[in-house]
């Protein structure tokens, strides 16, 4: 296998297979995208193809010594760099530089896969830049990161950039059904929650995700400015669950978006299992008030990402959302 197992990234795969066929794989590649979109899997597939001793077309053979070593995770000419703690530190990049200075142990290529390259601290990034400026012959560096803006522009400009798009919820749900043997209805809920990340959907406790969505929406729909203590309690519970905060806000945003589509084009509703409820509740709101509510949640998502006073951000968001109930 080479790129067959990579889901929903046809553009990236097309680019890489063409580059390989023309023997013009760039020496430095930067894969960006949200976690769980296949960046590292693709990097590994490319490394395997580059090292395979008897690839057929753009498919690594899977049986040569190089393929076998890669599959067991110990090919000496594939170097992995990933954050140790929160950062990729200068020592790790120095080690990479030293390894790249030597001739490859086998064959004639060296591949480095640098996961979460945005975690390089400034010293590490500057040292890495020097490797990029004068890449050793036969070396390939594949960087993954969330977004281009997280990296030094001088690093980005020396890499061929490939964006990994978030996956559609349809594709994620299909994969959950086949890979996790999930129930389609629960898979649909988890796919919406995963918000484009297949990796996250595959790791999730699907049933729990579905239960959590139901609980959130149920509580949200009972909020009112007449029962402020309940509103503040809800804000507090959201704020305390800080690991899931952005996803919980996404659930609320998708819910309001569904109410909007319930009025405009129900076939676009994402929470399909709640179709009837959505159509009914959407009658209570105007299109313009729902559009305003979506903006309010988006604003809270941006503020919450900055990590400042989450509870206040959520309280203000919920009050503004309730005020818009007309
Ligand atoms: Zn092989």
pLDDT in tens, the chain (326 residues): 578 889 999 999 999 999 999 999 999 999 999 999 999 999 999 999 999 999 999 999 999 999 999 999 889 999 999 999 999 999 999 999 999 988 888 878 999 999 999 999 999 999 999 999 999 999 999 999 999 999 999 999 999 999 999 999 999 999 999 988 878 989 998 998 888 999 999 999 988 999 999 999 999 999 998 899 999 999 999 999 988 898 899 999 999 999 999 999 999 998 989 999 999 999 999 999 999 999 999 999 999 988 779 999 999 999 999 986 65
Estimate the crossing angle of helix 310-323 against helix 228-240, to 10 degrees: 140
- DSSP H helices, 195-309, are 198-203, 206-222, 228-240, 245-264, 275-282, 287-305
Separation of 49 CA from ligand 1 center, angstroms? 7
Q: How far is residue 319's CA from residue 40's CA, in Å, rounded to a whole number?
A: 41
Work out the number of other CB atoms within 10 angstroms of the CB of residue 194. Answer: 26
Separation of 74 CA from ligand 1 center, angstroms? 14
Contact call for residues 88 and 117 (beta carbons, < 8 A): yes
**Beta-carbon contacts of residue 105 (< 8 Å; ≥ 6 apart):** 76, 77
Contact call for residues 258 and 274 (beta carbons, < 8 A): yes
For the record, the structure tokens of 69 come out as 């070593």
Contact call for residues 297 and 252 (beta carbons, < 8 A): yes
For the domain covering 10-163, report its CATH number: 3.40.50.300
Q: How far is residue 272's CA from residue 266's CA, in Å, rounded to a whole number?
A: 9
Say what the pTM is. Answer: 0.84
| Residue whose C-alpha is closest to residue 194's, from 151, 150, 244, 268 | 244
Q: Which residue ranges make up each domain of the chain?
A: 10-163, 205-323
Separation of 65 CA from ligand 1 center, angstroms? 7
Separation of 70 CA from ligand 1 center, angstroms? 9
Separation of 50 CA from ligand 1 center, angstroms? 9
Separation of 102 CA from ligand 1 center, angstroms? 23
Q: Does domain 205-323 have CATH number 2.40.128?
A: no
Four-residue CA torsion sign, 96, 99, 102, 105: negative
């Amino acid at each position: 296998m080479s790129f067959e197992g990579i889901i929903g990234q046809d553009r990236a795969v097309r680019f890489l297979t063409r580059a390989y066929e023309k023997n013009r794989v760039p020496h430095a590649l930067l894969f960006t995208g949200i976690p769980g979109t296949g960046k590292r899997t693709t990097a590994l597939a490319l490394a395997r193809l580059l090292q395979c001793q008897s690839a057929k077309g753009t498919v690594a053979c899977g049986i040569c010594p190089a393929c076998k070593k890669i599959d067991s995770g110990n090919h000496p000419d594939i170097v992995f760099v990933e954050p140790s703690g929160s950062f990729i530190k200068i020592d790790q990049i120095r080690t990479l530089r030293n390894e790249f200075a030597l001739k490859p142990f086998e064959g004639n290529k060296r591949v480095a896969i640098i996961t979460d390259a945005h975690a390089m601290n400034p010293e590490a990034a500057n040292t890495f830049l020097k490797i990029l400026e004068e890449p050793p012959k036969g070396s390939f560096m594949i960087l993954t990161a969330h977004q281009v803006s997280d990296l030094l522009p001088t690093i980005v400009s020396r890499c061929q950039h490939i964006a990994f798009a978030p996956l559609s919820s349809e594709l994620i749900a299909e994969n959950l059904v086949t890979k996790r043997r999930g129930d389609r209805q629960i898979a649909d809920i988890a796919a919406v929650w995963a918000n484009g990340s297949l990796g996250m959907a595959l790791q999730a406790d699907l049933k729990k995700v579905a239960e959590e969505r139901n609980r959130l929406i149920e509580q949200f729909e009972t909020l009112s400015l007449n029962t402020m203590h309940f509103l503040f309690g809800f804000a507090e519970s959201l704020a305390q669950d800080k690991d899931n905060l952005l996803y919980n806000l996404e659930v609320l945003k998708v819910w309001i978006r569904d109410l909007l589509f319930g009025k405009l084009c129900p076939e676009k509703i994402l929470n399909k299992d709640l179709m009837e409820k959505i159509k009914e509740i959407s009658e209570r709101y105007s299109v313009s008030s729902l559009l305003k509510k979506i903006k309010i949640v988006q604003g809270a998502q941006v503020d919450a990402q900055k990590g400042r006073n989450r509870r206040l951000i959520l309280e203000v968001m919920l009050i503004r959302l309730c005020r818009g109930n007309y």
